[in-house]
Amino acid sequence: MAEGTIITASTLNEALRAMTERGVVAVGGGTDVLVKLHDVIDRPWPQLLILERIKSLHRIEAKNGRLVLGPLVTFAGIARSPLLRRFAPQLVEAASMAGSVLIRNRGTIGGNIANASPAGDMIPPLFVLSGKIELSSVKGKRYVQVGDFFKGPGSTVLKSHELITSITLEKCGGHGFYLRLAARRALAISKVSVAADLSIRQKRVKRIRIALGAVAPTVVRALRTEEYLLDKDLTEDSISTACDIVKNEARPITDIRSDAEYRREMVAVLLRRGLSRISHSGGRR
C-alpha cells in the first residue's frame, strides 16, 4: 500500500489485519488526528484506516449490569442516549460541553481516549465510572483499566497494531457530575475539570470517586479527598474541608491556557459546586 492511501474497513477483522501494516493510523471521527497530521503537512502522511463502516464500534448497550460503548460513539450520540443519561450522567455532561456542534457530531469517545490529553473531556467520567478499555489485535484481546491506560500527555499503552474496540463502565452510583472551566463555554479546551460519582444512603456518602482533569500529566483520582468524604454527610463544613484537601491533590502546571495556582484553586471551586448541587438536592437525582 502506498504512502498517503486511504483504507476503508467494513469489518473489525479487516481493520485488525490492516493494523498489522507499518505506518497505518486508525481514524474515527478525525477531529484530533487530522489536525495533528496538518501540523506536519510537509512530511509524508501515513496510511489512514477509516473505521466508520464497522457497525459494532458504534454501539451503546447495557450488558451484564454494565454499560458498553463502542469507540466510534460520538459526543452527540452520548449526549442523546437515554441509557447514558440515566446511568452515566457525568459522561453525558462532558459530551454536552465538548467542542462545538460540529465537533460533537464527529468527535468520538475512542478518539478522545486515544488522544490522551489530560484535558480530554471524556476521560474524568471514565475514571469515576471505573472504565475498562478493550484493546484488540489479530493476536486477540486484552483489557486495561482506564487508570492504567494513560502514561502521560499524548502517551498510552495502546500498541501500534491494536485498536480500542470497546469501553465498559459501571453504572452511576446514584449521583454524579462533570464540571469544567475553560476560556469560554464552547470551542475551548478545559483549563481544569472535575468528575465525581457518589452513592448516598441515609444522607451519608457510602461510595465516592473523584477525578481531576488538566491538573496533572494524566487525569488523576483525588484519593485523599474521597477517603475524607466517605461515610460523611455533605454539609457545608465537610464540603469545605474536602475542597481544602483536593487543592493539594492537584499537580498543575503553568502553560499558555492558565497558571498553576489558578488551576489549583479552581479544582476546589468546581468540587464545591458539584457537591453542593448534590447536597441541595437532598440526595435525590
- Please check whether residues 37 and 76 belong to one and the same domain: no
CA gap 273, 178 in Å, rounded: 10
- Please check whether residues 164 and 190 belong to one and the same domain: no
CB–CB of 268/261 below 8 Å? no
State mean pLDDT over 5-10.
92
- Final residue of a domain: which of 140, 169, 198? 169
Which region holds residue 204: left if phi is over 0, alpha if psi is between -120 and 50, else beta?
beta
Which residue in this structure is represented by grid cell 442516549? 81
- Total domains in the fold of the chain: 3
User: 132-167, pLDDT tens digit by residue?
Assistant: 999 999 999 999 999 999 999 999 999 999 999 999
Residue 254 resides in a domain: yes
State mean pLDDT over 173-185.
84
The amino acid at 34 = L
pLDDT at 284: 60
Residue 285 resides in a domain: no
Residue 65 resides in a domain: yes
- Please check whether residues 160 and 62 belong to one and the same domain: yes
- Please check whether residues 74 and 119 belong to one and the same domain: yes
Helix, strand or coil for residue 234? coil
pLDDT at 168: 98
CB–CB of 246/282 below 8 Å? no
pLDDT at 23: 84
Q: What is the DSSP letter of 172?
A: P
pLDDT at 13: 97
- Final residue of a domain: which of 121, 147, 169? 169
Task: State pTM to two decimals.
Answer: 0.91
Grid cell at residue 174: 446514584
- Please check whether residues 79 and 165 belong to one and the same domain: yes
- Please check whether residues 251 and 153 belong to one and the same domain: no
pLDDT at 8: 94
pLDDT at 2: 44
User: 219-245, pLDDT tens digit by residue?
Assistant: 999 999 999 999 999 999 999 999 999
Residue 161 resides in a domain: yes
- Please check whether residues 164 and 64 belong to one and the same domain: yes
Mean pLDDT of the chain, nearest integer? 90
- Please check whether residues 142 and 165 belong to one and the same domain: yes
Query: Which neighbouring-strand residues pair with 159?
Result: none
pLDDT at 275: 97
Is the pLDDT score of 34 beyond 80? no
- Please check whether residues 212 and 240 belong to one and the same domain: yes
State mean pLDDT over 47-68.
95
- Please check whether residues 36 and 108 belong to one and the same domain: no
pLDDT at 192: 92
pLDDT at 42: 57
Residue 1 resides in a domain: no
Is the pLDDT score of 175 beyond 50? yes
CATH number of residue 96's parent domain:
3.30.465.10
Residue 275 resides in a domain: yes
User: 86-115, pLDDT tens digit by residue?
Assistant: 999 999 999 998 877 888 888 999 999 999
- Final residue of a domain: which of 116, 143, 169? 169
Residue 235 resides in a domain: yes
Grid cell at residue 241: 474541608
User: 237-277, pLDDT tens digit by residue?
Assistant: 999 999 999 999 998 766 656 678 888 999 999 999 999 99
Crossing angle of helices 236-247/260-280, nearest 10°? 160
- Domain hosting 275: range is 175-280
- Please check whether residues 69 and 162 belong to one and the same domain: yes
Confidence of residue 47 (pLDDT cuts 50, 70, 90): confident
Which residue in this structure is represented by grid cell 469515576? 128
State mean pLDDT over 177-186.
76
Is the pLDDT score of 71 beyond 50? yes
Is the pLDDT score of 31 beyond 80? no
CA gap 147, 247 in Å, rounded: 20
- Please check whether residues 139 and 67 belong to one and the same domain: yes
Characterize 231-266 residue by residue with b for buried, 16 or more Cβ atoms within 10 angstroms of its Cβ, and e for exposed.
ebebeeebbeebbebbbebbebeeeebbeeeebbeb
